[in-house]
A and B are shown apart, each in its own frame.
Chain A
Amino acid sequence: MTLGLHLGVLALLGVLQLVLPPFHHGMLARIMVLAAYAAGYNLLLGYVGLMSLGHAMFFAAGMYGTGLAISYLGVGVATGFLAGVVAGLAVAAAVGLITLRTAGPAFLIVTMMLAQAFYLATLYFNEITGGDQGFILSGLSLDLGGRRLPLADPVVKYNVALVVFAACLLLNFWLVRSPVGHILRALRENEERTRLLGYNTPRYKLFAVTVSGLIAAVAGSAYTLLFSYVGSTFAGIPYSIYPLLWTLLGGSGTTLGPLVGTLVMTYLVDVASSLTTGYLIVVGVTLVVTILWVPAGIVGGIRARWAPWLP
């Protein structure tokens, strides 16, 4: 039933592209990529209980890995994507090792500091990275069994975003139901007891940080391929706050929460931007309201009330 629900959601996203007007079609493509980013974040916050303020560095690692490989080595989309994934994996594993002994607010601040150093590094090495101005990847196309699919095409864009999101969602779904997932949740509930039960808790934490960072990097890489831009803004602190916001709003510790949170928030910001210059106030209000009255988030709230079987 739960697998069916997830496949149903993916099918719905697939069908929506046939009926959505162009603007919302484009919005949804972007939302799916960002929801994949949030899904990576959720894995750590929702299932292991580690709150990071540095995920932008993983997202940006995917972005720069892909962007630099394509722009300097002239590789294709697939190889570029792989380069982004490898870069993300390396950064995530390194951060995982450094933060192994920290938890709670210490973990949050260490990830934030490391991400800030990463952000400054993208500026410092501006000869290579283009600094804040960044650089453009243009004319990319996906080679699929001899057919060239230009990523600028809205249909291709939407479906690539859908595939990326689907992969991250299903990986997430499978992971949290696997034995490893149970151990990760045990870590969240009581790390000490988990350790006493004989589990090598640092190893599981390292694993969780790495996979979470990896998914964020996949999203970053996809974002850069689909929206043709690489720049240091995406490594900045606000881009570490966003996945936290989306995850909490949608429901941390629920597989579908990140998608719901990203969707609701993106549209909220878009609507608010036509009402006031201070439209980012919806970000603040949402965070406060969520933490005060709906700490479980939207999907978490639904699960608590009506659907206890939701993963």
Chain B
Amino acid sequence: MSQDGAATISRRRFLQAGATAALGAHLPGPWVGRAAAQAEGPLRLGFQVHRTGIGAVYGRWYERATTAAVKLINEKGGIGGRPVEIVAEDDGTDPKRGAEVVEKLAVQHKVDFIFGTLFSHVVIASAPRAGELKIPYIVVSEGYHVASGRLNRYVFQPGITDVRAQVTAVAPWILKNLGKKVTLIFPDYAFGHDHRDFFSRVATAQGGTIRALLPIPPTETSFTKYFPRVPADTEVLYHVMVGPGVLTFVKEMGEHFGARRPQIFGFIDSLEGVDLASAGLEFLEGTYFWEAFPRYAAATMPQHVRFYRERVGVNANGASVNDPRDVSTFSHMFGCWETLFVIKRAVEQSGYKKPGAAAYRAFIETLEGFQSFPEGTEHPQGPKRFVGRLHQVFGQQVVSKVEKRRLTVIHRTAIEDSMYAPEADYTKQPL
């Protein structure tokens, strides 16, 4: 960080000069005193949140992580001396409503930035509107859609890693430690297809064999009938599921295989928001999960992780401190927290004051110029590398094992393990 610290300062000066020239007006820099800044009023962040629809469990925790981060930011003097105000709008996890919410936040509420979307169909339907309205749209979605280059220059994902990176990082570990013959079970829609495509690609390149691909239709509520299709010589069962049916899915998998199970490796998405101690999940003992951020508190946790858990309000089991049955989406919601601190950094370094073409250009170019975020209170999940041309952040991934109905971390990948050859370059697009 020390190296690009100097670089960003000169960049900031440069950008400010540019912004001032472009507007033909005097713009105060970020060093202007707080009194003057407060006259500008709060920095308003539009939060596109899944309060209802199938994404609601995630949305609820995204909102809690966001509230906690904003509270912390405001306690410490806000962003650029201005307090932060969240303007939340529910998108119903629906793409049409999502695009409308982007419009509403940008045009009616006149927010400074929009952030927080998770489900990829909402992101994809909303992104064109954000691009047309020329407002930075900072998603916390996990999808490969940002880094694929399919969206536009206004869309960023600086707070959470994408599925392709996650899969790339853990595939070698799976092949080396669990087995080479893998069967994949995944939801038959975009999120599942990312797993299907990227895991298959990485695994076969490294000497693994894909024994079978089992897509589950999105409307399915009963899963038992799919398990016979898992070939008998499967060494590793790779599962990922999402939506209200996840617990049923995992339970029925256990009922089917019992003690005769192959090695099982799941993405924690299959059990986000679900208590591992739920009845019927006993069979998960000794299976493995990918996590982004360990849900269960460990004896030796860094101080900033402890602090993050406390501020968001989760107990040692990753559930709400107010209701132990209310289990968090721990491996995703940190993305909102970290995103807010990235926004803070980009606003302060770019000298952003209020919406406008020049101000947004400065903000976007500053964000694209970021290269890394150090681990700490602002980035509790771990250190990050940011690739400006992809608008995507990269980080460490975690493999955990189920022991005594809790997840214990047994392996942590390096950031480099998740990096893949970039396919896109947003910085070449006009603003």
Known contacts A138-B152, A273-B89; A123 and B100 CB within 8 A of each other: no
Contacting residue for A273 out of B90, B125, B131, B190, CB 8 A: B90
Return the chain A residue nearest B120 by Cβ. Answer: A133
Contact residues in B for A135 (Cβ distance below 8 Å): 124, 150
Contact residues in B for A138 (Cβ distance below 8 Å): 128, 131, 152
Q: Can you identify 13 A-B contacts, CB atoms within 8 angstroms?
A: A23-B103, A27-B103, A133-B145, A133-B189, A137-B128, A138-B128, A138-B131, A152-B132, A227-B99, A227-B125, A229-B99, A229-B124, A229-B128
Contacting residue for B107 out of A23, A120, A130, CB 8 A: A23
A227, B190: Cα distance in complex, Å? 20
**How many A residues are at the interface, by size bracket?**
20 to 34
A132 lies within 8 A of chain B by Cβ = yes
Known contacts A131-B189, A131-B193; A30 and B125 CB within 8 A of each other: no
A126 lies within 8 A of chain B by Cβ = yes
Distance (Å) between the CB of A150 and the closest chain B CB? 9
Asked whether, in the complex, the Cβ of B90 is within 8 Å of the Cβ of A234, the reply is no
A270, B103: Cα distance in complex, Å? 12
Asked whether, in the complex, the Cβ of A134 is within 8 Å of the Cβ of B95, the reply is yes
A252, B86: Cα distance in complex, Å? 41
Contact residues in A for B127 (Cβ distance below 8 Å): 136
Which residues of chain B in 89-129 are interfacial with respect to chain A, using CB atoms and an 8 Å cutoff?
A: 89-90, 92, 94-96, 99-100, 103-104, 107-108, 120-121, 124-125, 127-129
A291, B104: Cα distance in complex, Å? 31
Contacting residue for A229 out of B92, B95, B103, B145, CB 8 A: B95
Asked whether, in the complex, the Cβ of A133 is within 8 Å of the Cβ of B104, the reply is no
Contact residues in B for A30 (Cβ distance below 8 Å): 100
Contact residues in A for B95 (Cβ distance below 8 Å): 134, 229, 231, 233-234
Return the chain B residue nearest A242 by Cβ. Answer: B96
Contact residues in B for A105 (Cβ distance below 8 Å): none
Top 4 closest pairs, chain A to chain B, by CB: A133-B190, A228-B128, A23-B108, A152-B132
Contact residues in A for B231 (Cβ distance below 8 Å): none
Known contacts A136-B127, A136-B151; A126 and B99 CB within 8 A of each other: no
Distance (Å) between the CB of B71 and the closest chain A CB? 22
Known contacts A123-B217, A152-B132, A229-B125; A131 and B99 CB within 8 A of each other: no
A26 lies within 8 A of chain B by Cβ = yes
Asked whether, in the complex, the Cβ of B218 is within 8 Å of the Cβ of A123, the reply is yes
Which of A130, A229, A279 counts the most B-chain CB atoms under 10 A from its CB? A229
Asked whether, in the complex, the Cβ of A132 is within 8 Å of the Cβ of B129, the reply is no
Asked whether, in the complex, the Cβ of B188 is within 8 Å of the Cβ of A233, the reply is no
A190 lies within 8 A of chain B by Cβ = no
Which residues of chain A in 260-275 are interfacial with respect to chain B, using CB atoms and an 8 Å cutoff?
A: 270, 273-274
Known contacts A30-B100, A273-B89; A231 and B128 CB within 8 A of each other: no
Distance (Å) between the CB of B60 and the closest chain A CB? 10
Number of interface residues of B (CB under 8 A): 36
Contact residues in A for B67 (Cβ distance below 8 Å): none
A2 lies within 8 A of chain B by Cβ = no
Asked whether, in the complex, the Cβ of A136 is within 8 Å of the Cβ of B124, the reply is yes
A200, B145: Cα distance in complex, Å? 53
Distance (Å) between the CB of A221 and the closest chain B CB? 15
Known contacts A26-B107, A132-B121; A227 and B193 CB within 8 A of each other: no
Query: What 0/1 readout, one digit per residue, does chain A (278-289) give for beta carbons within 8 Å of chain B?
Result: 111000000000
Asked whether, in the complex, the Cβ of A26 is within 8 Å of the Cβ of B103, the reply is yes
B315 lies within 8 A of chain A by Cβ = no
Q: Beyond the given A126-B193, A227-B128, A228-B132, could you list 9 further A-B residue pairs with CB under 8 A, ordered by the A residue number? A: A27-B103, A30-B100, A123-B188, A123-B189, A126-B189, A138-B152, A229-B99, A270-B100, A273-B90
Asked whether, in the complex, the Cβ of A134 is within 8 Å of the Cβ of B107, the reply is no
Contact residues in A for B188 (Cβ distance below 8 Å): 123-124, 126, 131
Which residues of chain B in 125-150 are interfacial with respect to chain A, using CB atoms and an 8 Å cutoff?
A: 125, 127-129, 131-132, 143, 145, 150
Contact residues in B for A14 (Cβ distance below 8 Å): none
Which residues of chain A in 102-139 are interfacial with respect to chain B, using CB atoms and an 8 Å cutoff?
A: 120, 123-124, 126, 130-138
A8 lies within 8 A of chain B by Cβ = no
Contact residues in B for A278 (Cβ distance below 8 Å): 52
Contact residues in B for A27 (Cβ distance below 8 Å): 100, 103
B361 lies within 8 A of chain A by Cβ = no
Contact residues in A for B94 (Cβ distance below 8 Å): 233
A124, B188: Cα distance in complex, Å? 8
Asked whether, in the complex, the Cβ of B128 is within 8 Å of the Cβ of A233, the reply is no
B353 lies within 8 A of chain A by Cβ = no
Contact residues in B for A126 (Cβ distance below 8 Å): 188-190, 193
Return the chain A residue nearest B145 by Cβ. Answer: A133
Which of B52, B100, B120, B151 counts the most A-chain CB atoms under 10 A from its CB? B100
Which of B89, B108, B143, B191 counts the most A-chain CB atoms under 10 A from its CB? B108
Return the chain B residue nearest A236 by Cβ. Answer: B94
A40, B178: Cα distance in complex, Å? 57
Asked whether, in the complex, the Cβ of B100 is within 8 Å of the Cβ of A131, the reply is no
Contact residues in A for B90 (Cβ distance below 8 Å): 273, 277, 279
Distance (Å) between the CB of B168 and the closest chain A CB? 20
Which of A26, A134, A277 counts the most B-chain CB atoms under 10 A from its CB? A26
Known contacts A228-B128, A229-B124, A229-B128; A234 and B104 CB within 8 A of each other: no
Return the chain B residue nearest A233 by Cβ. Answer: B95
A103, B96: Cα distance in complex, Å? 31
Contacting residue for B96 out of A136, A234, A273, A279, CB 8 A: A234
A74 lies within 8 A of chain B by Cβ = no
Distance (Å) between the CB of A284 and the closest chain B CB? 14
Distance (Å) between the CB of A302 and the closest chain B CB? 29
Which of B51, B90, B107, B218 counts the most A-chain CB atoms under 10 A from its CB? B107
Contact residues in A for B121 (Cβ distance below 8 Å): 132-134, 231, 233
Distance (Å) between the CB of B269 and the closest chain A CB? 16
A133, B127: Cα distance in complex, Å? 12
